[in-house]
Amino acid sequence: MREFIQIDGISFNYPDLNQETRKTLDQIRITIAKGEYIAILGANGSGKSTLAKMINALLLPDSGAVYISGLDTRKPENLPSIRMKIGMVFQSPEEQIFSSTIEEDVAFGLENFGWEYEKMHARVKEILTRMDLWELRQRPSYLLSGGQTQRLALAGVLAIQPDCIIFDEATSMLDPMGRKVVLRQMRQLHEQGKTILHITHSMDEAMEANRVVVLQVGQIVFDGKPEELFSGDYDLEKWNLAYPADKKLLIELRNGMDGFPRDIKNLDEAADWFLKKNTFPYGMDDEESQADREEISVFQLRHVYLEGTPYQSRALLDVNLNVKDGESHGLIGVTGSGKSTLLQHLNGLLRPQEGSVRVGKFDLSDRKLSRQELVQYVGLVMQNPEVQFFEEYAGDEIAYGPKTVGVTEPLADRVRWAMTRVGLDFEEFKDRRVSTLSGGEKRKAALASVIALKPEVLLLDEPTAGLDPAAHKQIMQVFEEMQAEGTTMVVSSHNMQDIYALCKNVTVLDHGTSVETGRAGNVLSNQAKLEGMQLVPPSKLKLINLYQKKRAAELIRREGEEAYE
């Protein structure tokens, strides 16, 4: 294999407040051959995105050097050639979309490289057709769904035909169907000879790669095959990593059950073993909520975006939702099913056009509604935390809400409490610019800014997306503590493991309609229905389904043998 990317002892520090520096990369050395498929793992803030920006010359090292096909990224005359060779799909794809329509945006890079019109038009049509966006080419780019925005960002990169494509958490905000599409595109591009660098917090996605590189505090601590990383020979917690979901369940069974074999490789083999032993550790949780008071009531809610314009889009067609006081309720469905729109109705960002919404004592249709009272009662952590930031520094951002509503306790104490609760060290992060925070740190800061108001109802839109496994575990513990304290929660997520862990009840949204509500275990164990929505059941429920199917088949087989005898 030919050497393609050579990273030679690079170090980099971001300047911080008062001209202090924060170590991000420290003496990184790595060689990447043309055509490799590499997953880059590590905790939030470990330097993954910074390393990616070094490779495509968006950032330059403080020391050391990066060479792309022998071209030094530090030399300005090399940048056009390097940018033609290295493409990057950002964690937030909307950040790399510049033009007002889809067609113009894909042409943007080609225009900058001086392509002739006819050749450029042919390339744009080819790429948009491949990405299933040609029929939408005149649509304003800001009116796209999350999945369409992701495809548009990738289309803009593919148009210039780079040799290497870096995906920086490009699947973190996608539903399982969109995630599968992007992973399939990565595999296809790799098969075409492209070099793929995939920055991810998903251990399951890392298994797709041929090589895994792990960063910790700006240094490489592992470089090898994914099978080796997840063999059980490494202390993954030390690196803030975890095992893929199914393997994690198998390890829990091995550690918690006498005699469970170490050599069982998958859930199917585990179900066979339980069947042979005539034992099974799991059952459905049918415990009912003890609360009587209804905290949230939504009846026949409808909403149309840009109503009366050529771009009008019906987001909610008929939604009904009831959540009891102190309950955690999940919302599931594919991208565009209406989950975020529903959440924004529950805290008053959107008002009902038709139907009714009531949260606690608040009627959201009442035009005299006190917004200041409502925001203290209902907190919303948005899907993209950047959109809810107002201030330059993290400490000021978290203080913004309490300061605005006039809390009585000292502001610094409230900010310190909120930051500590979500795992942000007060002294380390209070003077950090929010723009310098990693994706996971921004998510923590957004959560801290909301819980600083101590709301009675907490609305969470993809609350763990972009978090490393350690931060994910920590945030889930925060949510569990808030549940125990009686906070009512509504959680929208594509992560069925999270929904099952947090929520007693679940509502399924499909094309703006609430099509089913039930106990989380019952809804999430309906594998056929979930697969129809391109959703994946939690590992525990997958194992339960496998065991129940095998047990039913075994009973039928025995009955047949008895009848024959």
> Which bin fits 26, alpha (ψ -120 to 50), beta or left (φ > 0)?
beta
- Check whether residue 195 and residue 213 sit in a common domain: yes
Using CA atoms, how far apart are residues 59 and 198, in angstroms rounded to an integer?
Answer: 18
Which residues form the domain of 469? 326-335+342-350+366-524
d(CA 186, CA 34): 15
> What is the model's pLDDT at position 291?
59
Query: What pLDDT score was predicted for residue 18?
Result: 46
How many domains is the chain partitioned into structurally?
3
On whether the CB atoms of residues 469 and 203 are closer than 8 A, the answer is yes
**Spatial contact of 195 and 163, defined as CB atoms under 8 Å apart:** yes
Does residue 372 sit in the same domain as residue 485? yes
The whole-angstrom separation of Cα 465 and Cα 476 is 12
Give the three-state DSSP class for 284: coil
Q: How far apart are CA 498 and CA 479, in angstroms?
A: 11
Whether residue 508 lies inside any domain: the answer is yes
Residues 390 and 439 grouped into a single domain: yes
Instruction: Please count the other Cβ atoms lying within 10 Å of the Cβ belonging to residue 376.
Output: 18
- Rg for the chain, CA atoms, rounded: 25
| CATH number for the domain harbouring residue 415 | 3.40.50.300
Q: Are 479 and 557 part of one and the same domain?
A: no
Contacts of residue 467, Cβ cutoff 8 Å, sequence gap at least 6? 44, 201, 440, 443, 475
Query: Same domain for 501 and 543?
Result: no
459 and 407 share one domain? yes
Which of these, 436, 39, 486, lies nearest to 226 by C-alpha position?
Answer: 39
Q: Is residue 289 part of a domain?
A: no
Q: Which of 193, 212, 234 is where one domain is finished?
A: 234
Q: Which residues pair with 11 in a beta bridge?
A: 63
Q: Please identify, among 194, 218, 234, the residue that sits at the C-terminal boundary of a domain.
A: 234
Residues 205 and 255 in one domain: no
Query: Which pair of tokens denotes residue 13?
Result: 């520090």
Does residue 290 sit within a domain? Answer: no
Per-residue pLDDT of the chain (565 residues; tens, 9 = 90+): 468 999 999 999 887 644 445 578 999 999 999 999 999 999 888 899 999 999 999 999 999 999 999 999 999 999 999 989 999 998 778 888 889 899 999 999 898 888 999 999 999 999 999 888 899 899 888 888 767 888 898 899 989 889 999 999 888 777 777 788 888 889 999 999 999 999 999 999 999 999 999 999 899 999 999 999 998 888 898 998 999 989 999 999 988 888 899 889 899 999 999 999 888 888 755 555 555 689 999 999 999 998 888 878 889 999 999 999 999 999 998 888 899 999 999 999 999 999 999 999 999 999 888 888 898 999 999 887 778 898 999 999 999 999 988 888 899 999 999 999 998 999 999 999 998 887 778 889 999 999 999 999 999 999 988 788 888 888 899 999 999 999 999 999 988 999 999 999 999 999 999 999 999 988 988 877 777 777 778 899 989 989 988 988 888 877 776 666 6
**Total residue length of the chain:** 565
Answer for the pair 453, 401: CB distance below 8 angstroms, yes or no. yes
Look at residue 500 and tell me if it is in a domain: yes
298 within domain boundaries? no
- Side-chain-side CA neighbours of residue 12 (13 Å): 28
Say if residue 370 is in the same domain as residue 418: yes
Same domain, 50 and 133: yes
* 355 lies in some domain: no
Q: Are residues 84 and 149 in the same domain?
A: yes
DSSP structural state of residue 359? E
Confirm whether 311 is domain-assigned: no
- Domain assignment present for 36: yes
Whole-angstrom distance, CA of residue 453 vs CA of residue 459: 13
pLDDT of residue 284: 58
Q: What is the pLDDT of residue 17?
A: 47
Alpha helices in 142-217 (DSSP H): 146-158, 176-191, 203-206
Are residues 202 and 268 both part of a single domain? no
**Do residues 406 and 546 both lie within one domain?**
no
Judge whether 443 and 463 are in contact, CB under 8 Å.
Answer: yes
